[in-house]
Amino acid sequence: MTSFVLIDYENVQPKDVSRLNGGRYKVKVFLGAKQAKVAVDMASALQALGPDVQYVRIAGDGKNALDFHIAYYIGRLAADTPGAAFHVISADTGFDPLIKHLAAQNISCQRWKLIADIPPASGPEAGSIGRAR
């Protein structure tokens, strides 16, 4: 199963991305229009993922602008990759209604505050739908 990790870098700047190593995840890091810098340690760690990581810098700003971009990408990727699982890294509880809606559509999506919170792929929650933490 393909798993996507979508990082709300405007809201959370992960310190440890080691859980993403090993080719299990496709990663998208969403940056606000005014964010000019990414921590070197994080950029270096993500660079090791090669083509499995992409930075998405949004052009506009405004309330929830970045969140709408993440929602768009989840929809697009869900349509292009049936059966994919999504992990949103954000402390923003505004994603929770979307996650609940996705669960009703049988799309696996969880929100985590930390990358380290993502359960191992073989864990009991690997296929859970609609969970927010």
Q: Which residues, other chains included, contact 55 with Cβ-Cβ below 8 Å and sequence gap of 6+?
A: 28, 29, 31, 38
pLDDT tens readout for residues 99-127? 999 999 999 999 999 999 998 865 434 44
Contact (CB, 8 A) for 88 and 9: no
Dihedral pair phi/psi, residue 124, rounded to 5°: -65, -20
In order of their start, the domains of the chain are 3-132 (3.40.50)
pLDDT tens readout for residues 21-53? 888 999 999 999 888 888 888 888 888 889 999
Share of the chain above pLDDT 90, in %: 61
Going by C-alpha positions, the residue among 83, 99, 85 that lies closest to residue 4 is: 85
